[in-house]
Amino acid sequence: MASCGAKTRSGAPCKTPAMDNGRCRMHGGKAGETHSGNQHATKHGIYGRVLTDEEKDLWDSVELGRVDDELKLCRLRLMRAIRAEQEAKDLPELDGRTEEPAVVGGVPLDDETIEKRSYKRRDYAGAIDRLMGRIESLERTRAELMKANPPEDEPVAKIQIEVVNGKNPANPDDGAAGKVLPA
């Protein structure tokens, strides 16, 4: 019987007998059997099923962590909440179901169950208010960032002061001349 041959911690080859795939039980011999149902890396596509076509275009362009993109995402969620509020028409939605045994005269019946349903009204107004507050906060943050770091394509005026023998040639009473140069 062939040995595993995988490198051990000491660096020597493993001498344990190999299984059908060429490795021992410690170095991956049963991996084909045990990992066959692994779904950890599955692309579930949940957003593709949930987003509308116009939302998909916006979703693909969003980079999380940037204020402008977070604003886009919040606005998308706001549009969704408003749409859901309009579709709900203030009707209660099913919240949950439970089944309990039927009881007659204090004695539970074995074959009979009663389904109980609970309903609730979603707080769309609260969700919309929270999203509006988040958008306002992001807009404020964006304005502060724009003020601290103005875009580079805006021209900045430069001032150059020229002094000739301690006097301004344009105004002999003044000691310096100020000229505004184009950017």
Six token digits for residue 58: 């916006």
Categorize the per-residue pLDDT at 41 as very low, low, confident or very high, splitting at 50, 70 and 90: low
Q: Which amino acid is at 169?
A: P
Q: How high is the pLDDT of residue 95?
A: 79
What average pLDDT does the segment 124-136 reach? 90
- pLDDT top residue among 37 and 52: 52
pLDDT digits (tens, 9 = 90+) for 46-97: 455 567 777 777 666 666 568 888 888 888 888 888 888 888 887 887 778 8
**AA letter at 117:** R
Q: What is the pLDDT of residue 46?
A: 47
pLDDT of residue 27: 82
Cα distances (Å, whole numbers) of residue 159 to 156, 162, 180, 183: 10, 10, 5, 10
User: What residue spans define the domains of the chain?
Assistant: 1-30, 48-91+125-148
Q: What stretches of the chain adopt beta strand conformation (E)?
A: 93-104, 107-120, 158-162, 177-181
Residues 7-18: tens digit of each pLDDT: 888 888 888 888
